[in-house]
């Protein structure tokens, strides 16, 4: 999850957006590479296109961004084995329990800047 202003698209071709429903009833806007159809990022909720949920596998060096939590594991396949080194949540989580103080402050500033309080 990163502010759009920090995302640099290296391709000259703009991703193709489609909207799909989510369990909450809100839409997830998925942006696909027009050539290979890989999802590059998604947008959710009130933030519109201000925050992008970038797929780590699309980064130049995905090894720089390891996971810090496993979420929505209620739908994982039984053959997916998760280690004990990270928190595991069946659905989403309380940000305050997982995010650092700096990340929470950054989120609050973004919310204030968007007028979403």
- Whether residue 61 is contained in a domain is answered as no
- Angle in degrees, CA 53, 55, 56, rounded to 5: 120
pTM reported for the whole predicted model: 0.78
Give me the chain's average pLDDT, please. Answer: 89
* Residue 43, strand partner residues: 29
Examine residue 113 and state whether it is found in any structural domain, yes or no. yes
Asked if residue 16 is part of any domain, the answer here is yes
Same domain, 29 and 1: yes
Judge whether 98 lies within some domain. yes
Q: How far is CA 49 from CA 24, 63, 77, 81, 108, in A?
A: 19, 26, 31, 34, 17
Residue 83 forms part of a structural domain:
yes
Strand partners, 17: 31
- In 3D space, the residue among 61, 69, 59 whose CA is nearest the CA of residue 98 turns out to be 69
Residues 5-15 pLDDT 10s = 899 888 888 99
Residue 20 has pLDDT above 80, yes or no: yes
Task: Convert the pLDDT of each residue in 29-55 to its tens digit.
Answer: 999 999 999 999 999 876 678 889 999
Measured distance CA(84)–CA(63) in Å, rounded: 20
User: What average pLDDT does the segment 61-90 reach?
Assistant: 94
- Residue 70 — very low, low, confident or very high, per pLDDT cuts 50/70/90? very high
- Sheet with 51-54: strands ordered across: 2-3, 51-54, 39-44, 27-32, 16-21
């Amino acid at each position: 999850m990163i502010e759009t202003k920090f995302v640099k698209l290296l391709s000259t071709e703009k991703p193709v957006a489609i909207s799909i429903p989510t369990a909450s009833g809100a839409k997830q806007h998925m942006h696909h590479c027009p050539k290979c159809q890989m999802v590059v990022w998604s947008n959710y909720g009130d933030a519109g296109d201000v925050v992008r949920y970038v797929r780590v596998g699309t980064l130049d060096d995905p090894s720089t961004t390891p996971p810090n939590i496993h979420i929505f594991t209620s739908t994982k396949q039984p053959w997916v084995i998760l280690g004990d080194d990270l928190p595991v949540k069946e659905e989403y989580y309380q940000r305050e329990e997982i995010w650092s103080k700096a990340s929470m402050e950054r989120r609050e500033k973004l919310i204030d800047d968007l007028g979403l309080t």
